[in-house]
Structure 1
Protein backbone atom coordinates (compact mmCIF):
# COMPACT_ATOMS: atom_id res chain seq x y z
CA UNK A 1 0.00 0.00 0.00
CA UNK A 2 1.37 3.40 -0.98
CA UNK A 3 2.11 5.35 2.17
CA UNK A 4 2.39 8.98 3.17
CA UNK A 5 4.84 9.32 6.07
CA UNK A 6 4.60 12.23 8.48
CA UNK A 7 8.25 13.19 8.85
CA UNK A 8 9.60 15.84 11.21
CA UNK A 9 13.24 15.12 10.42
CA UNK A 10 13.76 13.44 13.80
CA UNK A 11 15.19 10.02 14.51
CA UNK A 12 11.81 8.31 14.84
CA UNK A 13 10.12 9.61 11.71
CA UNK A 14 13.22 9.31 9.51
CA UNK A 15 13.66 5.70 10.67
CA UNK A 16 10.00 5.10 9.82
CA UNK A 17 10.43 6.63 6.37
CA UNK A 18 13.52 4.48 5.79
CA UNK A 19 11.63 1.35 6.83
CA UNK A 20 8.62 2.11 4.63
CA UNK A 21 10.91 2.90 1.70
CA UNK A 22 12.75 -0.41 2.16
CA UNK A 23 9.39 -2.15 1.96
CA UNK A 24 8.68 -0.39 -1.35
CA UNK A 25 5.66 1.50 -0.02
CA UNK A 26 6.89 5.07 0.45
CA UNK A 27 4.98 7.58 -1.65
CA UNK A 28 5.78 10.95 -0.06
CA UNK A 29 6.80 12.78 3.10
CA UNK A 30 4.69 15.43 4.78
CA UNK A 31 6.28 17.87 7.25
CA UNK A 32 4.91 20.80 9.22
CA UNK A 33 6.32 24.21 10.05
CA UNK A 34 4.34 25.30 13.10
CA UNK A 35 6.83 27.87 14.30
CA UNK A 36 8.82 25.39 16.37
CA UNK A 37 12.13 26.74 17.70
CA UNK A 38 13.85 23.61 16.40
CA UNK A 39 12.62 24.23 12.84
CA UNK A 40 16.06 23.16 11.58
CA UNK A 41 14.61 19.64 11.76
CA UNK A 42 12.70 20.46 8.57
CA UNK A 43 15.99 20.58 6.68
CA UNK A 44 16.68 17.02 7.80
CA UNK A 45 13.22 15.97 6.58
CA UNK A 46 13.91 17.59 3.21
CA UNK A 47 17.23 15.76 2.96
CA UNK A 48 15.45 12.49 3.75
CA UNK A 49 12.94 13.04 0.94
CA UNK A 50 15.77 13.79 -1.48
CA UNK A 51 17.74 10.73 -0.40
CA UNK A 52 14.70 8.46 -0.74
CA UNK A 53 13.56 10.06 -4.00
CA UNK A 54 10.03 11.04 -3.01
CA UNK A 55 8.04 14.30 -2.98
CA UNK A 56 8.20 16.40 0.17
CA UNK A 57 5.19 18.47 1.20
CA UNK A 58 5.98 21.15 3.80
CA UNK A 59 2.78 22.56 5.29
CA UNK A 60 2.99 26.09 6.68
CA UNK A 61 1.18 26.02 10.01
CA UNK A 62 2.95 29.00 11.59
CA UNK A 63 -0.23 31.00 12.02
CA UNK A 64 -1.88 28.03 13.73
CA UNK A 65 1.18 27.38 15.88
CA UNK A 66 1.19 30.99 17.04
CA UNK A 67 -2.31 30.48 18.44
CA UNK A 68 -1.37 27.29 20.31
CA UNK A 69 0.40 29.17 23.09
CA UNK A 70 2.01 27.94 26.28
CA UNK A 71 4.53 25.44 24.90
CA UNK A 72 8.30 25.65 25.21
CA UNK A 73 8.49 24.49 21.61
CA UNK A 74 6.79 27.60 20.23
CA UNK A 75 6.91 30.29 22.95
CA UNK A 76 9.79 32.07 24.67
CA UNK A 77 9.89 29.47 27.45
CA UNK A 78 13.00 27.52 28.41
CA UNK A 79 13.05 23.88 27.35
CA UNK A 80 13.71 21.94 30.57
CA UNK A 81 16.65 19.59 31.03
CA UNK A 82 16.14 16.04 32.23
CA UNK A 83 14.50 12.77 31.31
CA UNK A 84 11.57 12.82 28.89
CA UNK A 85 9.37 11.07 31.45
CA UNK A 86 9.66 13.92 33.96
CA UNK A 87 6.57 16.00 34.68
CA UNK A 88 8.57 19.11 33.73
CA UNK A 89 8.51 17.99 30.08
CA UNK A 90 4.78 18.68 29.90
CA UNK A 91 5.74 22.25 29.02
CA UNK A 92 6.70 20.87 25.57
CA UNK A 93 3.11 19.85 24.78
CA UNK A 94 1.65 21.74 21.79
CA UNK A 95 -2.11 21.26 22.23
CA UNK A 96 -3.77 19.12 19.56
CA UNK A 97 -0.62 19.19 17.41
CA UNK A 98 -0.81 15.60 16.18
CA UNK A 99 -4.55 15.76 15.59
CA UNK A 100 -4.13 18.83 13.38
CA UNK A 101 -1.12 17.47 11.51
CA UNK A 102 -2.63 14.05 10.93
CA UNK A 103 -5.88 15.55 9.62
CA UNK A 104 -3.87 17.48 7.03
CA UNK A 105 -1.73 14.44 6.20
CA UNK A 106 -4.87 12.39 5.62
CA UNK A 107 -6.16 15.07 3.26
CA UNK A 108 -2.90 14.99 1.30
CA UNK A 109 -2.92 11.19 1.17
CA UNK A 110 -6.53 11.10 -0.02
CA UNK A 111 -5.85 13.72 -2.69
CA UNK A 112 -2.77 11.87 -3.91
CA UNK A 113 -4.33 8.39 -3.85
CA UNK A 114 -2.28 6.91 -0.99
CA UNK A 115 -3.79 4.20 1.19
CA UNK A 116 -1.90 4.76 4.44
CA UNK A 117 -0.66 7.62 6.59
CA UNK A 118 2.21 6.49 8.81
CA UNK A 119 3.38 8.28 11.92
CA UNK A 120 6.20 7.36 14.30
CA UNK A 121 4.49 7.88 17.66
CA UNK A 122 5.92 5.40 20.15
CA UNK A 123 5.46 4.04 23.64
CA UNK A 124 7.86 6.51 25.21
CA UNK A 125 5.61 9.39 24.17
CA UNK A 126 2.55 8.15 26.06
CA UNK A 127 3.41 9.67 29.44
CA UNK A 128 3.64 13.25 28.19
CA UNK A 129 1.65 13.45 24.95
CA UNK A 130 -2.00 12.37 24.92
CA UNK A 131 -2.13 12.58 21.11
CA UNK A 132 0.53 9.85 20.87
CA UNK A 133 -1.38 7.24 22.88
CA UNK A 134 -3.12 4.19 21.33
CA UNK A 135 -6.54 5.44 22.46
CA UNK A 136 -6.01 8.58 20.39
CA UNK A 137 -4.56 6.93 17.28
CA UNK A 138 -7.29 4.29 17.20
CA UNK A 139 -10.04 6.88 17.61
CA UNK A 140 -8.43 9.15 15.01
CA UNK A 141 -8.31 6.30 12.49
CA UNK A 142 -12.03 5.67 12.99
CA UNK A 143 -12.80 9.38 12.68
CA UNK A 144 -10.89 9.70 9.41
CA UNK A 145 -12.66 6.73 7.88
CA UNK A 146 -15.92 8.56 8.59
CA UNK A 147 -14.53 11.86 7.31
CA UNK A 148 -13.45 10.33 3.98
CA UNK A 149 -16.31 7.85 3.61
CA UNK A 150 -17.25 7.50 -0.04
CA UNK A 151 -14.24 9.50 -1.23
CA UNK A 152 -11.12 7.60 -0.16
CA UNK A 153 -10.07 4.69 2.03
CA UNK A 154 -7.04 5.88 3.98
CA UNK A 155 -5.89 4.17 7.17
CA UNK A 156 -3.51 5.21 9.93
CA UNK A 157 -0.33 3.18 10.41
CA UNK A 158 1.45 3.40 13.80
CA UNK A 159 4.02 0.57 13.79
CA UNK A 160 5.86 1.89 16.86
CA UNK A 161 2.93 2.88 19.07
CA UNK A 162 3.49 -0.09 21.42
CA UNK A 163 7.27 -0.08 21.08
CA UNK A 164 10.16 1.82 22.65
CA UNK A 165 12.54 4.34 21.14
CA UNK A 166 15.29 1.72 21.47
CA UNK A 167 13.16 -0.52 19.24
CA UNK A 168 13.01 2.30 16.70
CA UNK A 169 16.81 2.61 16.76
CA UNK A 170 17.06 -1.15 16.18
CA UNK A 171 14.63 -0.99 13.24
CA UNK A 172 16.32 2.10 11.88
CA UNK A 173 19.73 0.42 11.96
CA UNK A 174 18.31 -2.67 10.29
CA UNK A 175 17.03 -0.52 7.41
CA UNK A 176 20.16 1.58 7.04
CA UNK A 177 18.91 4.84 8.56
CA UNK A 178 21.67 7.48 8.53
CA UNK A 179 21.12 8.54 12.15
CA UNK A 180 23.60 11.41 11.90
CA UNK A 181 21.22 12.96 9.35
CA UNK A 182 18.37 13.30 11.86
CA UNK A 183 17.61 16.02 14.40
CA UNK A 184 15.98 15.56 17.81
CA UNK A 185 17.06 18.40 20.12
CA UNK A 186 14.23 20.71 21.14
CA UNK A 187 16.61 23.60 21.81
CA UNK A 188 17.58 23.90 18.14
CA UNK A 189 21.20 24.96 18.66
CA UNK A 190 24.20 24.30 16.47
CA UNK A 191 24.53 20.83 17.98
CA UNK A 192 22.33 18.53 20.06
CA UNK A 193 22.42 19.92 23.60
CA UNK A 194 22.51 16.49 25.26
CA UNK A 195 20.40 17.75 28.19
CA UNK A 196 16.80 18.20 27.04
CA UNK A 197 14.33 15.34 27.20
CA UNK A 198 14.64 14.44 23.54
CA UNK A 199 18.44 14.35 23.71
CA UNK A 200 18.44 12.22 26.86
CA UNK A 201 15.89 9.84 25.36
CA UNK A 202 17.83 9.65 22.08
CA UNK A 203 21.15 8.86 23.80
CA UNK A 204 19.51 6.31 26.10
CA UNK A 205 17.81 4.59 23.16
CA UNK A 206 21.09 4.03 21.32
CA UNK A 207 22.61 2.66 24.52
CA UNK A 208 19.76 0.21 25.13
CA UNK A 209 19.69 -0.87 21.48
CA UNK A 210 23.46 -1.45 21.48
CA UNK A 211 23.86 0.72 18.38
CA UNK A 212 26.63 3.29 18.04
CA UNK A 213 25.28 6.83 18.41
CA UNK A 214 26.86 9.15 15.81
CA UNK A 215 25.27 12.26 17.34
CA UNK A 216 27.50 15.09 18.55
CA UNK A 217 26.20 16.43 21.87
CA UNK A 218 27.30 19.55 23.75
CA UNK A 219 26.94 17.55 26.99
CA UNK A 220 27.40 13.89 25.99
CA UNK A 221 27.39 12.45 29.54
CA UNK A 222 24.39 14.25 31.04
CA UNK A 223 22.02 11.45 30.03
CA UNK A 224 23.62 9.02 32.49
CA UNK A 225 22.71 11.10 35.53
CA UNK A 226 19.29 11.95 34.10
CA UNK A 227 18.41 8.28 33.58
CA UNK A 228 19.86 7.27 36.96
CA UNK A 229 17.87 10.00 38.67
CA UNK A 230 14.67 8.82 37.05
CA UNK A 231 15.30 5.15 37.90
CA UNK A 232 16.23 6.05 41.48
CA UNK A 233 12.83 7.52 42.24
Structure 2
Protein backbone atom coordinates (compact mmCIF):
# COMPACT_ATOMS: atom_id res chain seq x y z
CA UNK A 1 0.00 0.00 0.00
CA UNK A 2 1.33 3.46 -0.92
CA UNK A 3 2.05 6.11 1.69
CA UNK A 4 2.10 9.27 -0.42
CA UNK A 5 0.04 10.59 -3.31
CA UNK A 6 1.54 13.20 -5.63
CA UNK A 7 -0.71 15.54 -7.59
CA UNK A 8 1.04 15.32 -10.96
CA UNK A 9 0.11 17.86 -13.62
CA UNK A 10 2.91 16.92 -15.98
CA UNK A 11 4.61 20.26 -15.33
CA UNK A 12 8.00 21.25 -13.97
CA UNK A 13 7.01 21.72 -10.34
CA UNK A 14 4.87 18.63 -9.90
CA UNK A 15 7.54 16.50 -11.58
CA UNK A 16 10.12 17.82 -9.13
CA UNK A 17 7.72 17.05 -6.28
CA UNK A 18 7.26 13.50 -7.55
CA UNK A 19 10.99 12.91 -7.22
CA UNK A 20 11.00 14.66 -3.84
CA UNK A 21 8.33 12.22 -2.68
CA UNK A 22 10.31 9.24 -3.98
CA UNK A 23 13.27 10.34 -1.86
CA UNK A 24 11.13 11.22 1.16
CA UNK A 25 8.80 8.20 1.29
CA UNK A 26 10.55 5.51 -0.73
CA UNK A 27 10.06 4.35 -4.29
CA UNK A 28 7.48 1.70 -3.49
CA UNK A 29 5.45 4.07 -1.30
CA UNK A 30 4.47 6.69 -3.88
CA UNK A 31 1.79 6.96 -6.54
CA UNK A 32 0.59 9.83 -8.71
CA UNK A 33 -2.79 11.34 -9.53
CA UNK A 34 -3.62 13.64 -12.43
CA UNK A 35 -6.86 15.40 -13.29
CA UNK A 36 -8.65 15.58 -16.60
CA UNK A 37 -10.45 18.82 -15.78
CA UNK A 38 -11.33 19.97 -19.27
CA UNK A 39 -8.01 21.71 -19.88
CA UNK A 40 -7.51 22.98 -23.41
CA UNK A 41 -4.07 21.43 -23.80
CA UNK A 42 -4.35 17.67 -23.34
CA UNK A 43 -0.63 17.32 -23.87
CA UNK A 44 -0.05 17.82 -20.14
CA UNK A 45 -1.89 14.57 -19.37
CA UNK A 46 0.28 12.72 -21.88
CA UNK A 47 3.33 14.23 -20.21
CA UNK A 48 2.13 13.20 -16.76
CA UNK A 49 1.67 9.62 -17.95
CA UNK A 50 5.14 9.54 -19.45
CA UNK A 51 6.78 11.05 -16.37
CA UNK A 52 5.02 8.60 -14.05
CA UNK A 53 6.19 5.73 -16.26
CA UNK A 54 9.77 7.04 -16.19
CA UNK A 55 9.60 7.27 -12.40
CA UNK A 56 8.06 3.81 -12.17
CA UNK A 57 5.05 4.84 -10.10
CA UNK A 58 1.39 3.94 -10.39
CA UNK A 59 -0.58 6.72 -12.07
CA UNK A 60 -4.30 7.47 -12.20
CA UNK A 61 -6.10 10.12 -14.28
CA UNK A 62 -9.31 11.24 -12.61
CA UNK A 63 -11.99 12.88 -14.81
CA UNK A 64 -13.44 16.08 -13.30
CA UNK A 65 -14.52 18.21 -16.26
CA UNK A 66 -16.64 20.78 -14.42
CA UNK A 67 -14.02 23.49 -14.94
CA UNK A 68 -14.61 23.40 -18.69
CA UNK A 69 -18.31 24.07 -18.10
CA UNK A 70 -17.49 26.99 -15.81
CA UNK A 71 -15.06 28.60 -18.28
CA UNK A 72 -13.88 32.15 -17.77
CA UNK A 73 -10.13 31.51 -17.89
CA UNK A 74 -7.47 30.95 -20.53
CA UNK A 75 -6.69 27.36 -19.49
CA UNK A 76 -10.16 25.92 -20.04
CA UNK A 77 -11.96 28.40 -22.30
CA UNK A 78 -11.02 28.21 -25.99
CA UNK A 79 -12.16 31.76 -26.73
CA UNK A 80 -9.82 33.34 -24.15
CA UNK A 81 -6.17 33.82 -25.06
CA UNK A 82 -3.33 33.89 -22.55
CA UNK A 83 -2.43 37.45 -21.62
CA UNK A 84 0.39 38.96 -19.63
CA UNK A 85 -0.48 41.16 -16.67
CA UNK A 86 -3.61 40.91 -14.54
CA UNK A 87 -7.33 41.43 -14.94
CA UNK A 88 -8.17 44.93 -13.61
CA UNK A 89 -11.31 43.59 -11.94
CA UNK A 90 -9.79 40.60 -10.14
CA UNK A 91 -6.11 41.63 -10.00
CA UNK A 92 -5.31 38.06 -11.11
CA UNK A 93 -3.91 36.63 -14.38
CA UNK A 94 -6.47 35.26 -16.83
CA UNK A 95 -4.78 31.86 -16.46
CA UNK A 96 -6.14 31.60 -12.91
CA UNK A 97 -8.70 28.78 -12.64
CA UNK A 98 -10.81 29.65 -9.57
CA UNK A 99 -10.73 26.92 -6.94
CA UNK A 100 -8.59 24.54 -9.00
CA UNK A 101 -5.97 23.66 -6.36
CA UNK A 102 -8.61 23.49 -3.64
CA UNK A 103 -10.69 21.06 -5.67
CA UNK A 104 -7.68 19.04 -6.85
CA UNK A 105 -6.47 18.48 -3.31
CA UNK A 106 -9.97 17.70 -2.03
CA UNK A 107 -10.37 15.05 -4.74
CA UNK A 108 -6.85 13.82 -4.00
CA UNK A 109 -7.76 13.43 -0.33
CA UNK A 110 -10.95 11.59 -1.28
CA UNK A 111 -8.93 9.32 -3.57
CA UNK A 112 -6.32 8.74 -0.87
CA UNK A 113 -8.72 8.07 2.00
CA UNK A 114 -9.96 4.56 1.10
CA UNK A 115 -6.43 3.58 0.07
CA UNK A 116 -4.99 4.41 3.47
CA UNK A 117 -2.85 7.22 2.08
CA UNK A 118 -2.49 10.20 4.39
CA UNK A 119 0.30 12.23 2.75
CA UNK A 120 -0.53 14.44 -0.24
CA UNK A 121 2.21 16.21 -2.20
CA UNK A 122 1.62 19.23 -4.40
CA UNK A 123 3.93 21.58 -6.30
CA UNK A 124 2.35 24.91 -5.36
CA UNK A 125 4.64 27.80 -4.42
CA UNK A 126 4.10 31.37 -3.32
CA UNK A 127 7.62 32.63 -4.08
CA UNK A 128 7.90 32.48 -7.88
CA UNK A 129 4.24 32.05 -8.77
CA UNK A 130 1.67 33.63 -11.05
CA UNK A 131 -0.32 35.45 -8.41
CA UNK A 132 -2.71 32.60 -7.67
CA UNK A 133 -4.18 32.87 -4.14
CA UNK A 134 -4.68 29.10 -3.92
CA UNK A 135 -0.90 28.62 -4.05
CA UNK A 136 -0.27 30.42 -0.76
CA UNK A 137 0.78 28.68 2.43
CA UNK A 138 -2.14 30.12 4.40
CA UNK A 139 -4.59 28.67 1.87
CA UNK A 140 -3.03 25.22 2.01
CA UNK A 141 -2.92 25.20 5.81
CA UNK A 142 -6.61 26.10 5.94
CA UNK A 143 -7.48 23.39 3.43
CA UNK A 144 -5.46 20.80 5.32
CA UNK A 145 -7.35 21.61 8.49
CA UNK A 146 -10.69 21.41 6.67
CA UNK A 147 -9.80 18.01 5.20
CA UNK A 148 -8.72 16.69 8.60
CA UNK A 149 -11.97 17.81 10.17
CA UNK A 150 -14.17 16.70 7.29
CA UNK A 151 -12.61 13.26 6.96
CA UNK A 152 -11.55 12.70 10.56
CA UNK A 153 -8.11 11.52 9.55
CA UNK A 154 -4.61 12.95 9.71
CA UNK A 155 -4.26 14.16 6.13
CA UNK A 156 -1.03 16.11 5.60
CA UNK A 157 -0.44 18.35 2.58
CA UNK A 158 3.25 18.59 1.72
CA UNK A 159 4.39 21.63 -0.28
CA UNK A 160 8.16 21.19 -0.72
CA UNK A 161 8.43 24.10 -3.16
CA UNK A 162 6.36 26.62 -1.20
CA UNK A 163 9.20 29.07 -0.54
CA UNK A 164 11.53 28.05 -3.36
CA UNK A 165 12.33 30.31 -6.29
CA UNK A 166 12.18 28.77 -9.75
CA UNK A 167 15.98 28.62 -9.73
CA UNK A 168 15.85 26.80 -6.39
CA UNK A 169 13.41 24.25 -7.79
CA UNK A 170 15.70 23.63 -10.76
CA UNK A 171 18.63 23.00 -8.41
CA UNK A 172 16.44 20.71 -6.31
CA UNK A 173 15.36 18.78 -9.41
CA UNK A 174 19.01 18.30 -10.33
CA UNK A 175 19.85 17.07 -6.81
CA UNK A 176 16.93 14.63 -6.87
CA UNK A 177 17.82 13.22 -10.29
CA UNK A 178 14.64 14.62 -11.84
CA UNK A 179 16.21 16.42 -14.82
CA UNK A 180 15.71 13.50 -17.25
CA UNK A 181 12.01 13.45 -16.37
CA UNK A 182 11.80 17.23 -16.81
CA UNK A 183 12.75 16.67 -20.43
CA UNK A 184 9.21 15.33 -20.86
CA UNK A 185 7.39 17.90 -18.72
CA UNK A 186 5.02 20.53 -20.08
CA UNK A 187 4.80 24.14 -18.91
CA UNK A 188 3.72 26.22 -21.92
CA UNK A 189 0.34 27.94 -21.44
CA UNK A 190 -0.13 27.86 -25.21
CA UNK A 191 0.14 24.07 -25.27
CA UNK A 192 3.02 24.05 -27.72
CA UNK A 193 5.81 21.50 -28.06
CA UNK A 194 8.49 22.71 -28.36
CA UNK A 195 7.28 25.42 -25.97
CA UNK A 196 6.40 28.86 -27.35
CA UNK A 197 8.99 30.59 -25.16
CA UNK A 198 6.82 33.68 -24.88
CA UNK A 199 3.94 32.98 -22.50
CA UNK A 200 4.30 33.78 -18.76
CA UNK A 201 4.87 30.12 -17.87
CA UNK A 202 7.62 29.68 -20.46
CA UNK A 203 9.32 32.90 -19.39
CA UNK A 204 9.25 31.91 -15.71
CA UNK A 205 10.65 28.47 -16.50
CA UNK A 206 13.42 29.94 -18.66
CA UNK A 207 14.29 32.43 -15.92
CA UNK A 208 14.64 29.63 -13.36
CA UNK A 209 16.95 27.51 -15.50
CA UNK A 210 19.02 30.55 -16.49
CA UNK A 211 19.46 31.69 -12.88
CA UNK A 212 20.37 28.16 -11.80
CA UNK A 213 22.93 27.93 -14.60
CA UNK A 214 21.44 24.63 -15.81
CA UNK A 215 20.29 23.83 -19.34
CA UNK A 216 16.60 23.03 -19.65
CA UNK A 217 16.44 19.33 -20.63
CA UNK A 218 13.09 19.91 -22.38
CA UNK A 219 14.68 22.34 -24.83
CA UNK A 220 17.70 20.08 -25.20
CA UNK A 221 15.40 17.18 -26.11
CA UNK A 222 13.72 19.12 -28.89
CA UNK A 223 17.05 20.40 -30.19
CA UNK A 224 18.18 16.78 -30.35
CA UNK A 225 15.05 15.76 -32.25
CA UNK A 226 15.64 18.49 -34.82
CA UNK A 227 19.25 17.59 -35.50
The answer to whether the 8 Å contact 1:37/1:187 transfers is no
Distance 1:125 1:104, change over 3 A: farther
Q: TM-score, normalised by structure 1?
A: 0.84
Q: Distance in 2 between matches of 1:204 and 1:132?
A: 20
- Looking at structure 2, the residues matched to 130 and 68 of structure 1 have their Cα atoms a distance apart, in angstroms, of 19
Q: Which runs of 4+ in 1 moved over 6 A?
A: none
Query: What are the within-5 Å matches in structure 2 for residues 1-233 of structure 1?
Result: 2-23=3-24, 24=26, 26-62=29-65, 64-75=66-77, 76-80=79-83, 82=84, 86-87=85-86, 90-124=93-127, 128-149=131-152, 152-177=153-178, 178=180, 179-216=182-219
- Which residues of structure 1 form unaligned runs of 5+? 218-233
CA positional deviation for 1:87: 2.2
CA shift, 1:92, in A, is 0.4
Structure 2 counterpart of 1:230 = none
Query: How many residues of Structure 1 are paired with residues of Structure 2 in the alignment?
Result: 210
1:153 deviates by 2.2
**3-state DSSP class of the match of 2:218?**
coil
What is the rounded CA distance, in whole Å, between the counterparts of 1:158 and 1:201 in structure 2? 19
In the TM superposition, residue 49 of structure 1 has moved relative to its aligned partner by 1.6
SS at match of 1:77: coil
CA distance in 1 between counterparts of 2:173 and 2:194 reads 21
Following TM superposition, by how much is the alpha carbon of 1:34 offset from its aligned partner in structure 2, in angstroms? 1.1
Structure 2 runs not aligned, ≥5 long: 221-227
Secondary structure at 2:45's aligned position in 1? helix
Q: Compare 40-49 and 88-97 and name the one that shifted more.
A: 88-97
Which region of structure 1 is more displaced relative to structure 2, 86-95 or 129-138? 86-95
1:60-117 CA-partner distances (Å, limit 9, x unpaired): 112x11232210111121112x5xxx32661001110111110000111111111200
Partners of 1:94 and 1:184 in 2: CA distance: 16
TM-score normalized with structure 2 length: 0.86
